[in-house]
């Protein structure tokens, strides 16, 4: 997520006995999500070398996403070495192929794929001995630096500067395995990929330049949880941090210049509340299930890249930071940290507890 706002329930009640809305800054949640992003980098270094180059063991001359000597004769080598800017590549994920991943091929970008090539990166033309013949394999961290230093500008040029760094897609780098490197392979490919929090590459359809890059999930998606932190999409029957209840296109309300965060919030508070009532089936369900309603904001850099959509979501924020574990879709019966939620007591009939003005003493 980029910026996000949280609406908590329950809160003080208004004269009609309904919860008084309280929109608060979600700085804690933003810090939590930032920590998730850092954790994703660490996990990616360990599993997919952070750049999208899915390393396989050295029994192959190349990594699944790198190029190697043509002598191997694999379709993967042909697809990689022939890949040019604008080409889309796909392969069977390791979880489905048993770790072989030798079926990389060029596919039509209008079909599912896992990598869109933005341009080549030829390390053989770099000065010095670092990448020369017989040089030591750079390793995941060095490849990550090369991605950040060289692939980001390549991607920006490829997309005509219309890249959303906070959006759905990330900059990726395909590189050789250690055996491919030892055989003299120095050709890399920079590109775009859609990866989850834990670094798993997800298939996507269409060229990135032709679509809204907004970092949103489909309605009904539940985002998993690990130690109070959001992870990847899971079945809602499994423990999760939050559930997506709506996708809002801010471009319909704000067709011109980017709206301020305050204007976004004023609009999203109403539409997200309405979406919550419709999704859960009543205006009381959010309060009765003690859930939290929150939404994203779009930043200037995302707006300039063309991103316009945000998610409205519901979860259960915890005081120590992050989220409680919810089991079951919020449309039905749920458990929060293993227990059924207890609805807060209704306001006493005929008595109002108005929300105090800022700085005022609480009512006695």
Query: What pLDDT does residue 44 have?
Result: 30
What is the average pLDDT across 201-227?
94
**Alpha carbon distance 59, 102 (integer Å):** 12
Q: What is the pLDDT of residues 157-172, one digit of tens each?
A: 999 999 999 999 999 9
**Alpha carbon distance 277, 217 (integer Å):** 19
Coil vs helix vs strand at 12: coil
Residue 197 has pLDDT above 80, yes or no: no
Residue 61 has pLDDT above 90, yes or no: no
Query: What pLDDT does residue 48 have?
Result: 30
What is the average pLDDT across 67-80?
43
Query: What pLDDT does residue 139 have?
Result: 85
C-alpha of 268 from chain center: 20
Q: Give yes or no for a contact between 341 and 289, defined as CB atoms under 8 angstroms apart.
A: yes
**Alpha carbon distance 242, 222 (integer Å):** 6
- The least confident of 49-58, 74-83, 343-352 is 49-58
Query: What pLDDT does residue 96 have?
Result: 56
Banded model confidence at residue 345, pLDDT cuts 50, 70, 90 = confident
- The least confident of 46-60, 91-105, 258-272 is 46-60
Bond before 157 cis per omega within 30 degrees: no
Widest pairwise Cα distance in the chain:
84
Query: What pLDDT does residue 95 have?
Result: 61
Give residue for tokens 């809160």: 11
What is the average pLDDT across 290-297?
94
Task: Of 354, 330, 356, 353, give the one whose Cα is nearest residue 341.
Answer: 330
**What stretches of the chain show up as alpha helix (H) in DSSP?**
27-47, 75-82, 94-97, 140-146, 152-158, 178-182, 250-253, 261-280, 285-288, 300-304
Query: What pLDDT does residue 257 have?
Result: 94
Count CA atoms closer than 13 A to 287's CA, side-chain side.
18
Residue 109 has pLDDT above 70, yes or no: yes
What is the average pLDDT across 116-121?
95
**Alpha carbon distance 334, 94 (integer Å):** 33
**Alpha carbon distance 290, 317 (integer Å):** 10
- The least confident of 46-55, 82-91, 348-357 is 46-55
DSSP string, 236-260: TTS-EEEEEEEEEEHHHH--SSPPP
- Computed over every residue of the chain, the mean pLDDT equals 77
Query: What pLDDT does residue 46 have?
Result: 25
pLDDT higher at 7 or 134: 134
CA distances from 336 to 172, 231, 316, 324, 346 (A): 37, 17, 8, 7, 21
154 burial via Cβ count (<10 Å: 0-12, 13-18, 19+):
buried
Query: What pLDDT does residue 348 have?
Result: 64
Query: What pLDDT does residue 268 have?
Result: 96
Q: Give yes or no for a contact between 29 and 3, defined as CB atoms under 8 angstroms apart.
A: no
Percent of the chain clearing pLDDT 70 (strictly above): 71
251 phi-psi bin (left φ>0, alpha ψ -120 to 50, beta other): alpha
What is the average pLDDT across 249-264?
96
Give residue for tokens 């997919």: 48
Residue 360 has pLDDT above 90, yes or no: no
**Alpha carbon distance 72, 50 (integer Å):** 26
**Alpha carbon distance 312, 295 (integer Å):** 4
Q: Residue-wise over 99-110: b if at least 16 C-beta within 10 A, else e? A: eebbebebbebe
What is the average pLDDT across 345-358?
55
Residue 13 has pLDDT above 80, yes or no: no
Residue 356 has pLDDT above 70, yes or no: no
DSSP string, 190-229: EEEEEE-TT--EE-B-S-GGGS-------TT-EEEEETTE
Q: How many residues does the chain have?
A: 364
Give residue for tokens 């390393």: 55
What is the average pLDDT across 55-62?
31
Give residue for tokens 């750049």: 51
């Amino acid at each position: 997520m980029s910026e996000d706002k949280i609406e908590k329930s329950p809160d003080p009640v208004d004269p009609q006995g309904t919860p008084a809305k309280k929109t608060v800054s979600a700085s804690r949640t933003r810090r939590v999500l930032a920590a998730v992003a850092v954790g994703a980098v660490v996990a990616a270094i360990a599993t997919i070398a952070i750049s999208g180059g899915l390393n396989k063991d050295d029994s192959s001359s190349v990594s699944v996403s790198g190029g190697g000597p043509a002598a191997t004769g694999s379709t993967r080598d042909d697809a990689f070495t022939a890949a040019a800017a604008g080409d889309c590549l796909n392969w069977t994920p390791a979880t489905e192929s048993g770790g072989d991943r030798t079926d990389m091929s060029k596919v039509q970008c209008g079909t599912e794929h896992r990598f869109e090539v933005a341009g080549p990166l030829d390390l053989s033309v770099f000065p010095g001995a670092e990448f020369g013949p017989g040089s030591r394999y750079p390793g995941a961290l060095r490849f990550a630096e090369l991605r950040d230093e060289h692939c980001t500008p390549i991607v920006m040029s490829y997309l005509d500067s219309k890249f959303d760094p906070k959006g759905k897609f990330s900059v990726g780098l395909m590189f050789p395995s250690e055996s491919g490197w030892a055989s003299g392979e120095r050709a890399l490919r920079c590109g775009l990929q859609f990866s989850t929090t834990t670094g798993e590459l997800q298939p996507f359809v269409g060229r990135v330049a032709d679509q809204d890059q907004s970092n949103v999930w489909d309605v009904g998606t539940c985002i998993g949880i690990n130690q109070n932190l959001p992870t990847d999409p899971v079945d809602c029957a499994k423990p999760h941090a939050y559930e997506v209840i709506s996708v809002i296109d801010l471009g319909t309300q704000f067709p011109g210049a980017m709206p301020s965060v305050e204007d976004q919030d004023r609009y999203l508070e109403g539409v997200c509340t309405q979406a919550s009532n419709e999704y859960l089936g009543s205006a009381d369900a959010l309060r009765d299930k003690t859930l939290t309603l929150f939404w994203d904001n779009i930043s200037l850099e995302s707006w300039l890249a063309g991103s316009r959509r945000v998610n409205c979501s519901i979860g259960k924020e915890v005081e120590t930071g992050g989220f409680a574990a919810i089991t079951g879709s919020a449309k039905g019966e749920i458990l929060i940290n293993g227990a059924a939620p207890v609805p807060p007591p209704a306001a006493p009939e005929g008595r109002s507890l108005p929300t105090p003005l800022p700085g005022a003493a609480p009512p006695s």
